[in-house]
Structures are given as C-alpha cells and as structure tokens.
Amino acid sequence: MADDTLNDVLIDRLRSFLSKPNENLDGIRSAAARLHSRCASQDKATRERTLERVWRRHDGAIPLVLSLLESVRDQVTCCSLAGILHECVSPRAVKYRSPALSQLTSLNATQLIIKLLMQLSGKESQISDMLLYELVWIIAQLSQKDSKFSVKVRLTGSARTFHNILRLHYNNPKLLYPLLIVFKSLSRNVTTSTVLVKDGIVSTMEKVIVSIGYSPSPKLRLSLNVMHSLTRSSMFLYKLPNYINFFFSVLIYVKYIKLIYFIELCCTKMAKEDFVPLLLRIFERWERYNGKMRLRILTYTIITLKHLSNTKIGRKAIKSSNGLNLLYKFCVLCPNDRTYDSLLPRVASIIGTCMDKKVLPIDTTGPVLFSLPVLKTENSDTSDNTTGSGMRTSSSRETTPSADGSVAESFDNNDDDDDDASDKTQESDAGHGPYAIPPPILRDMDDLCQYAAFFQENVVTSNQEARTFEEKCIPRAKSYQEFGTHGCDSLGEHRDYWLINDRDGLRSDSYLGSCHLQHQEPSNDENSFWQKEVERRLNNYMRTVRSHSSCSCYDVYKREMTWKASSDPAMNSNLQNSLHMMGLTILSDIPKHSSVHYAYCAIASKVNTVYPVVKVAYPDMVGGDGSGQLYPLHIKDRKVCRAKLMTSVERAVHPHLLLDRVVYDLDGLIQQDAIAKGNDSGEKHLYNIDERRVGHRDLLKHHLLFESRFESGNLRKVVQIGLHEYELILLPDVNSVKHHQWFYFEVSNMEANVTYTFNIVNCEKQNSQFNYGMKPIMYSVIEAKEGRPGWVRAGSDICYYRNNYQNLHGRSRSWYLTTSFSMTFPHDNDVCYIAYHFPYPYSLLMTQIWKWSLSVDPSLIYFRTDCLCYSLNNNETPLLTITSPDMESNRIKDREVVFLTARVHPGESNASWVMHGTIQYLLSNAPAAIMVRNKFVFKIVPMLNMEGVINGCHRCGLSDEDLNRRWSRPNQYLHPVIYHSKGLIEYCARIMNKAPFMFCDYHGHSRRKNVFLYGCCNAGSWNQVDRSNSDDPVDYLMLPYLMQHFSKAFNLQACNFRVERMREATARVTIWREFGVKRSYTMESSFCGCDQGFYQGYHLDTIHLKEIGANFCEAMACLKDEGGWKADITPEEAARLAGLTSKEQLDESPPMSEISDNSDFSSDEDFH
C-alpha cells in the first residue's frame, strides 16, 4: 500500500511541474529519477505495481511523461523520463507491454520521439549515449506496433537521422540491436528504403555485418533481414559497393578453378574430393571481392558449379553443402550491373538442376496425330527424290543427310531460314575436293511436262483450249497417293512446243560453280560506283514514271490490247476469262456479290484441319490488319526480369503455394468432342458470334475463359496459378513434340483495368525479341465494333527467361523458357485475341485471292490462279501468275520469269503480310507495277506450308520436318508442295530453257530487327570449287542497294551472302546452285521492328509489312534494263567490283553470329 502511495505522490509531483517544467528542473529530475528507479527495480513486485500505475489510461501518467519529455530540455531528466517509457514497453513487462504500446501509438508518441531525436541529433552538443539508447529502444518497440511508422518517418524526414545514428554507433553492441529493429521496419517501405539507399545505407550495413561477425546471433539475423528487405528497393542493387580486396591465396585457387573449367571430366573427381564445399565457401564471400576480380571469381565458380551439377554426385554435394541457399542468396543480392546478368540465369539453372525434376502437366505426345504415308522401297524411284531408302524420311528431330552422304549437324536450333549461326566446319569441309557436292537429281523430262499447264499464258489461244489444257496437265491429285501419276502424254500438239532437243538439260557440272559474293563494306571508289549506278537507275525509273503519268498509264495497254483483240477474237475471249480461279475449287461456289465475312466463313468451313475447329477467329474474318499506328518498342525493365526469374525459382521450391487450377484443356475437349460427335461426319459450318458475346459474363466462372480452336490457334492447356496469373502451354507442331513459339488464342470473361499476367511456359528458343523491345499483339472485338478495328501492340512487364520445367525432348537436362507479359484489357466482358504476331491464316489468303480476282481488270493485268497441288491433308496450294496481257510488242513468252514464295515456316506470319503487299502492288495501277508486269512473269506460291499454318504450327508441317531443309531432295509424297514448287522452277530452267531471272523466299526473323536479304555468292561459299570461280557482284548486290533506297525498314548492313554447308538444302541455296539463278534471295523481316532508319525504335505494323512488299517491286522495276546498265560498266569498275570477292576481304567481314542479340535472362548458356 505504501508503494502505491509513493507512486501516486511521484506522479502528482511531476504533474505539478508540468506548467513550467524548465523552471523546476531539480524537482522534475528528482521525481523522474525516483519513478524510473521503481519502474526498473529488481524487486518484481515493486516494478509491476509501478508499471501498472503508470500505464493505466484513466490516470494519465503516460501522457504526462510524454508532455514532460517534449518540453524539458535537460538531458538527464529526459533520460529518466524516457527510461520510464522504456520500461513500460520492455519485453520483460509482459503484462503491461501491449496496452502501453497501444496507448503510446494513440498518443502520437512515434512522432514526438522522432522529433526529439532529430532535435537532439541536430544540436552541436552530442546527445548522451544513455538518452539515445532509451529513445531508440522506445522507437524500436513502437516501429513494430505502429502500422504507419514508415509513413511517419517519411513525413518527418527522419530516415537520414536514423541512418546517421546507425553510422555513428554501428559498433555499439548495446545500441545496435534496437537500431536494427528500426531499420527492419524502415527497409520494408519502398520510399524510406529508397531514401536510405541513396544515403549510403548499404556501405553502413556492410560495416554492421563485419562488426557483428559471421557467427549466428540475433543481430546477424536482423542485419540479414534488413539487407533482404533493402533489396526490394529500386536503388539498392545500383548502389551496392565494391568490397574489400581478396587474399592472394585465393588468386592462386582461381587459376586452378579456371583450369578445371576446361576439364569437364574432372567434375566427378572434384565432387568426391569435397571441392564443392570449398567452392561454396568462396562463393559465399563474393561480396567481399573487389572490382573485376569479383566478376572473374564469380564467373569461374558458377560455371564450375554448373558443370558439377550435371553429375549426380555433384548435385548431391551441392545440396548437402547448403549450396542452394547460397545460390539463392546470390540471386537476391546480385549487383544491378549488366555484366552480372549472364550469371543470374546460370545460378538459376544450377538451382533448377539440383532440384527434383519438374515436367509439364501434359502428355508427352500431341493430342492428335496425323497419319503419314508409308513409303515402300519398291514404289520409290529416282524421280521421287526421296531422302532415304524408301521409308519415311528423317524428321527434323533427327539429322539431315549432308551433301557427301555423311551426317550433318541437326537443324533444331536454326529457327530462321537463314539464321546467323555460322558453320564451324566450313574450312574443313572445303578440303573434301571438287565433288563434295553431288550433282542434283534431275527429274525425267516427261515428268516435268506436267507443269506446262502452269505456263499456259505462253501458248493458250482460246478459252476452250485452256480448259482442256488444264484438265489434262494439272496435277489434280485428290490425295497424296495420286501425286506423280500424270505424265506429259496428254500434251498433244503442245508437246513439241515445250520440249527441246537437248534431252540432258543442263550439265550437272555447271552447278558446281554458279555462286556469288558475301557483301563487304565497299571502298570509297566502290561506294561512288554504287551511288552513281543507283542514282542512274532511279533517274531512269522516275523518267518512266513521269512519262506514264503524262500520257495516261493505260494508253499503251489499251492500244496493244485493242490491236490484239481485233486481230484475234479468241484472245479477247481468253482475256475476259483469264482471272477465273479454274484451279481452286475452294473458291468455285462463292457468289461474286458475297460479303467478305460470308466468303471467309465459307472458305474456312472447307479447310481440312488436323485439330478440331469450332469457330473462325474474328480478326481474321474482318481482314486481320493492324491498326496502322507506329508503336514504340517496349523498354525492357531489367528489375522486372530479375523479379520474374526469382519468382520462377521460388515457385519451383514452394510449388504448394500455387493455385494450380486447370481452366482450359484441349486434350480433354478433343476427347469430349469425339464422344459427342461419334460417327457424325457431316459437313462443318464455321461462323463467328463474338459481336453478340461481348458484354455477357459467365457468372459461374471467376477466371478468364480461353479458346484456340480456330485456324492457326495453338493453345493446349491453361493453368491458373494466381488470382490474375495464368500459365499457358502451347501445342507442338503436328506429329512433333517440340517447336513452340507461335501463339494465338482468345480470351474472354475479363474485368476492365485489371492486370492479368500470362506466362507461356514451354518456349524452346534460347533467345527472343521479347527481351529486346517486342510486344505481343491484342485485338478487341468491342474496340472493333466502336470503329477502332485492328491489332494493337499491348502488354507490359515483358520478359523471356528460363523456367524450371524440364524439356524431356531436348538435349540432356534442358529446360523450357517462359514468355511472360501482363495485359490490362480496356473493357469488361470483352472478347480479345492475343497473338505472337499478326496472324495470316490459310483462309485469309484464299479470301484475299477471291477479292483480288474480282477486282482485277483482265484487259490490263493477266492474273490467274491455279492449284499447284494438294497438301498432305488435301488442301489446295494456290499458285498465282501475274503479268501484263500479251502484246504484239511485248510477248509474254519473251519475258523473264520471277518466282516468289513465302510461309515455308508457318509461324512466320509476317512473311505472308509482306507477300500480301507484293501481290497487292503488282495488281495495282502504280507506274512501277506496270513496269515490272511488262518485264516479268511472276509465279507466286504465297503459302508453301499451309498445313502448318492451318494447324497453328511454328516450324514444320504435318511430316514434322523443316520444309526449308528439303529443297535439295523433296519427297513427292511427304513434301508435295516443295516437290512441285521446285518442279515448276526446274521446268522453267530445263524445258523452257529459261532460268528464272530471280527467286525470292519471304521469311520472318525472330531474333533480329529490320528487313534484310540473304543471297549467294561464289566467294562466300564453303565449297572450294565455288570459290575458285568468279562471278559478277553486281548481279546480286544491286537489289539490296535498291531496297535500301526504297524501303525505310531495310538494313543493307545486315545482308549476308555466305553459302554455308548447313544451308545447302534451303530454297535459296538449292535454286542458286542447281538452276544457276544468280539472284536467289531470302528476304527476312523482323517480328519486332527496327533499330535503324525511319522506323527506328518502333514496331512494324501490317501496313509497314505490306509497304515492304511494295518496295520490293519498286526495286525490281529498276532492274528491268539490266542489259543497258551492265554494258555501261567500265572495265575498271568491273575490276573493282570483282575485287570484292577476294577471300581476304571476305574473311575480314565479321560473321553474323557476332552481331546477333544475346539474351540477358533467357538462358543459362551463351546464345549463338
């Protein structure tokens, strides 16, 4: 009872001094000291009774102490008052601590003590250590209770004050612990932690950890907690400093590490001899290393650990030595420096390798397989050009026979037609002698005569004769079993016209030296020649354009056609019917006046697919164009990529944290459809009702709805892993287990202004333009209804990185990669489509052909469409013929032939848009279009791999083979489109005795920007015989120079004219070598955009891709007077150009692999 009375007396005495505290310092000091001694008494009963009296809310003791603490200026008195509060919130005051903290928080004690610390720290006189200790202890306890502590620190601007205190007292063991508690709270707030990092907290924390030591302790735990929280700050990694120098003994060990890096066979021995713990101890102290030495040590150590992780004993040693935790810590604290970015994927790779195998939640095979023809030995002959002994040809998963019969390297990683990887065996192969390249297998002359039907513009004189000619000669097989059964006996009276006396055709030895040059940087003299020559041709071109404009572009045609029609009435009849789609039955029953929507749905309903199709995609039905706007390239946020990489590792470690809800499963849908339909084989009728679906929500499902059962769609499975996050698994190519890159799917049931994250988790390429500015595209049906149709570039937080799903079908212990992006949809309950690039499906091509056929004036343009052949799944292959009508002064049979092809790789939809621009321009009334139609006959196969396009494949067709590696020996039954396309060219070269003037295969490039050409030259060939023969560089260099002038997206410096051995089976090299076509090109256009020229920093839209196709025609218009400008070249100029072919200059040019993009976060290995 006496104790309670004394406590009351002391509190009342303090209250009496409250009005004038600084005038009664002695009385306040005495009362506060006595009350503090009782609160901190060793007698438990006295202490508890005093604390109970102080914290009681209705007595107002705590507000009294706070008021005195705020007003008193004496540090001794303040120390006693702060001590009272300290004892109230001390952990040993278990019973009273929580109510005391609540009362202090409600009384704004946090701000009061922060301001007091700022005032005392700002004075010239130093604050006493005891007062500082008491105040910091109080604020440390309040920081854990006050939810707005960091906000109050930010508002008072006291973050730097706390940092100054820590900087001055980091070696004070008594004060350090409460300070670390304060910083633990501050580091969890983005704003305060950013301020601290800018103020140098990292170097201070380094001193703190060094002073604490590496022995486990609560202070060390708090320090690491603070460091972990600070890594979330946007400034931390940037400010991470260099640490102390490493010891000389470690330098010796680093040399040993470098040695064993090159000796992989030592990995097992190292693991057995306990080298792994030693490596991990070195790695554990990486922060202490300084400058370049740190990066060097880390690189050697991580690469060695990576090699060790490839062995079972090495993985076991890493896990038993706590290596996974150390590696994870490195990922968290790795400096925000680009030089370290290549280390992060390797560290993640080690973690993933050491963990248990994780595979995709799908079957290893595709949901549907396509039955291929089984080829028997007795049914194969020389004309079949099979690649094997009669059995099924090797797939792209296997190896491709090389020219000399040996096995060349696999083409699995050659993701583009002529990608940048150089052939490392180039020089060694050259020494095999002049017969390293076998002569081409020539088809029988009688067999080639079947292609006369596709050149009927040269000989047909009546409409009836045209129909008879086509019916007899066109290879109209109803299935692949019937290909090749049509000979040339039915040619009748036209046979003698086509056959030539030389039955042997071109001699095989003429193919060994018909090559051309790798482009070099021209000298000043050479630049002057090119500049003069291009300017001269452009001036001639402009004079022709002006003359056409002044006299009406059509006068010449009208005069010629009027004369022709009057002299030959049958010709007039033929002109009026020349645009009929006689060979395309899929278009035969579509009425002329049908709407485009109806025509598209009617065509799509007739397309044969491998995967089930339930609808047509809305963007394709309405035209498929982009918005026409210039969208800037995405600026990659490396911090986002780091976060995504770390999230991937964390999810692999803690898979139970994922939601794991399957929301779309194509395999299950196919099984359900098969059960529902049974034996129903009725005709399908596809349509689209998206405009009626928008605005309606599925109330039973609280997640996004997905669909991809439409042409070119390829979504296989979707798993919801978070509230608004989904993992997407793509379909492989048909009859394959790989080739995942192209994606095209529909999303609905969304909420507006909600960020959804999509992770496509089974990508295979080791690099992607998603890491270099590319965005996916999105199409909104509501936006289209409101008058803003078109694909738009969309997405944020875009990153491409390696995940922890093991690729069972790749090389040993390889992993898939993730394309991750976030999207915010503009409307509620919209129907949106998301794609890798602007889709251009087979039905859209056929619809465009139907539209072109109705719009072309046959009196001005000769436009014919034929069915070249049927694909493996009985879909028609369109062949377009475009030229000017036959005129007395310009006969069609005298014109040069140009062959254009596209879309041999179905995922390269940009190639179709470029081809669309070429065809559209050729059918236009532009002066340059008239000029090229007058000069050339264009034979165009706009879609070489329609089966892959239809079924959403990326690389291959139904035979699981890269068709651009089958041109040298295509199989009539497995590769019908390639077989007959090559047959057309061979017919032109051997039967018509007219090698094509030009061949160009349109492609898309997934790893480079801009537009560029690949060509062929002798000096750039891997073959010794090719290099011994000279060629004229003007032949193949002039078109790239002209393209640079006409096309804003073209990059001349990216053009390449090497002929590599591994490219011998591609269209470009095969046509150049076997048929002597000097201008044999591959034109590559980027999926992404441009990094130079007019479009630098922007994506390419469909309007720009079509513009490139038109620019190609304009450049060709300047080549039409070849005989004239070649005659003008002086011997000196010719000598200078020939000098470009010298081997010395060719060797000086950097290989294209040196300038290819390297991913920062995409792979654990360097990308080539």
Which residue is associated with the tokens 């023969």? 1029
CA dist 38 to 30, 104, 1047, Å?
13, 20, 89
Burial track 455-485 (b if 16+ CB lie within 10 A, e otherwise): bbbbbbeebebbeebbebbbbbbeebeebbe
Separation of alpha carbons 1117 and 931, rounded Å: 6
- Six-digit token pair at 933? 């139609």
Burial track 601-638 (b if 16+ CB lie within 10 A, e otherwise): bbbbbbbebbbebebbbbbbbbbbbbbeebbebbebeb
Separation of alpha carbons 485 and 8, rounded Å: 116
Looking at 727, 746, 764, 1084, which residue is catalytic?
1084
Asked whether 1006 and 414 are in contact (CB, 8 A), the reply is no
Separation of alpha carbons 986 and 449, rounded Å: 10
What is the sign, positive or negative, of the torsion defined by CA atoms of 325, 331, 332, 337?
positive
Length of the chain: 1168
Separation of alpha carbons 625 and 792, rounded Å: 10
- Six-digit token pair at 768? 């992607």
Active-site residue flag, 896 = no
Separation of alpha carbons 1021 and 1062, rounded Å: 11
Q: Which long-range contacts (CB under 8 A, 24 or more apart) does 69-73 make?
A: 69/112, 69/113, 69/116, 70/112, 70/116, 71/18, 71/21, 71/22, 72/21, 72/22, 72/25, 72/28, 73/22
Separation of alpha carbons 621 and 502, rounded Å: 51
DSSP assignment letter at 967: S
Separation of alpha carbons 1118 and 1124, rounded Å: 12
Asked whether 722 and 757 are in contact (CB, 8 A), the reply is yes
Asked whether 1107 and 1046 are in contact (CB, 8 A), the reply is no
Residue type, 923: L
Query: In Å, how far from its chain's centre is CA 307?
Result: 28
CB atoms closer than 10 angstroms to residue 435: 12
Question: Which of these, 748, 749, 731, lies nearest to 740 by C-alpha position?
Answer: 731
DSSP assignment letter at 962: -
User: Strands 777-780, 755-763: parallel, antiparallel or unpaired by DSSP?
Assistant: unpaired
Separation of alpha carbons 697 and 678, rounded Å: 31
Contacts of 339 (CB under 8 A, 6+ apart): 295
Asked whether 1049 and 1098 are in contact (CB, 8 A), the reply is no
User: Strands 831-835, 876-883: parallel, antiparallel or unpaired by DSSP?
Assistant: unpaired
CB atoms closer than 10 angstroms to residue 985: 24
Residue 775: strand pairing partners:
none
Separation of alpha carbons 173 and 218, rounded Å: 12
DSSP assignment letter at 322: T
Residue 1011: strand pairing partners:
1050, 1085
Separation of alpha carbons 1143 and 1137, rounded Å: 13
- Six-digit token pair at 603? 């065509």
Separation of alpha carbons 260 and 982, rounded Å: 52
DSSP assignment letter at 1098: B
Catalytic residues: 1084
